[in-house]
Amino acid sequence: MFTIKVGDDFLINQILECGQCFRYKKLDEMSYRVIAKGLVLHVKQDGQELQFDCDEEVYDDVWRDYFDMERDYVSVMDGLRKKDHYLKEAIMLCHGVRILQQDVFEMLITFILSQNKSIPQISVLVDRLAENYGEKIETDLNGLGGLELYSFPSSEQMQHATEEELRALKVGFRAPYIIDAVEKVVNGSVNLKRIHHMDTVDAREMLMSIKGVGRKVADCVLLFGCGKMDVFPIDVWVRRIMQATYFKDKQVSNSEMLDFAESYFEGVSGIAQQYLFYYARTEGIGK
């Protein structure tokens, strides 16, 4: 057990439920189980106290980075709040959201799966891939009652997966996309070891060489798996809220929206996107 103090820029429920993470389970009010980095974590927040069921060393090695603890979200929010009343209201409700630093390969496959799926359905598919290709996680936790948990597979663990196998897991038309992604990652033409150090534009171009990876999926991978804060994934929800706010009086294309976002949000468009996304979903904007 390890406990730290957090400010009001950290709300575990908002962080996990804002649509970036697909491998958590709510156990109780502000209490969750998360599977990430080949580990199971139980985390609970009680006001300013954040409790991890691990020791300090594991926190320092794994979870500090995962929860993006070194980034100053207070400053980011201060900058964004000043810009307009939409951001001000979004941040008032979503001030506890942070961008998780998740595994790149997991994000790649997860967001390939995400197309034309609802968020709960994506979780089902991700779990199914983990159960079939990942490793059973050994835990010494009490109260799991025989529950088996599986880590998300590495590219190596998936490299012999076949299209028929994947279709049997009900990934549908995304099966060949996953095959192509695994192949390119394994053979190195998409180098995920180097991607963190690459320029956003180059990294995006590399990801988009994979069949089934377009601008939106690539930008989600860059944001949630590579720490690139200067991207702006546009999905149906972001499109709705952007039309309802910054582009009230005219229909705009995605590229117009992107041009606007990348200059207006000044290098933290990805974080702004996440506030707007969570805000749009919780407030049901455009629905």
Partner DNA sequence: GCCCAGGCGTCCC
Partner DNA sequence: GGGACGCATGGG
Residue choice 212, 222, 245, 271 for contact with DNA (CB under 7 A): 212
Q: Phi-psi bin for 283: left (phi > 0), alpha (psi -120 to 50), beta?
A: alpha
CA distance 237 to 87: 15
* Cβ closest to DNA, residue 54 vs residue 97: 97
* Cβ closest to DNA, residue 54 vs residue 272: 272
Residue 111 near residue 100 (C-beta atoms within 8 A): no
**Least distance in angstroms from the C-beta of 28 to DNA:** 23
CA distance 211 to 78: 39
Q: Phi-psi bin for 21: left (phi > 0), alpha (psi -120 to 50), beta?
A: beta
CA distance 136 to 151: 6
Within 13 A of 43's CA, how many CA atoms are on the CB side? 22
The DSSP call for residue 107 is H
**Interface with DNA includes 255 (CB under 7 A)?**
yes
Pick out residues in 43-102 that bind DNA (CB under 7 A).
Answer: none
Number of residues that bind DNA (CB under 7 A): 38
**Interface with DNA includes 273 (CB under 7 A)?**
yes
* Cβ closest to DNA, residue 142 vs residue 251: 251
**Least distance in angstroms from the C-beta of 120 to DNA:** 7
Query: What distances in angstroms separate CA 226 from CA 14, 32, 126, 140, 165, one per listed residue?
Result: 20, 24, 19, 31, 29
Residue choice 80, 158, 190, 213 for contact with DNA (CB under 7 A): 213
Residue choice 72, 140, 236, 250 for contact with DNA (CB under 7 A): 236
Residue choice 45, 114, 245, 269 for contact with DNA (CB under 7 A): 114
For residue 25, count CB atoms less than 10 angstroms from its CB and return exposed for 0-12, middle for 13-18, buried for 19 or more.
Answer: middle
Pick out residues in 140-199 that bind DNA (CB under 7 A).
Answer: 167, 170, 172-173
Within 13 A of 4's CA, how many CA atoms are on the CB side? 16
Query: What distances in angstroms separate CA 280 from CA 77, 94, 275, one per listed residue?
Result: 17, 11, 8
Residue choice 19, 96, 134, 270 for contact with DNA (CB under 7 A): 19
Contact string 215-234 vs DNA (x = CB under 7 A): xxxx-x------------x-
* Cβ closest to DNA, residue 79 vs residue 176: 176
CA distance 100 to 173: 28
* 48-56, 101-109, 136-144, 252-260 -> range binding DNA (CB under 7 A): 252-260
**Least distance in angstroms from the C-beta of 119 to DNA:** 4
Q: Which residues bind DNA (CB under 7 A)?
A: 18-20, 111, 114-119, 121-122, 167, 170, 172-173, 208, 211-218, 220, 233, 235-238, 253-256, 273-274, 277
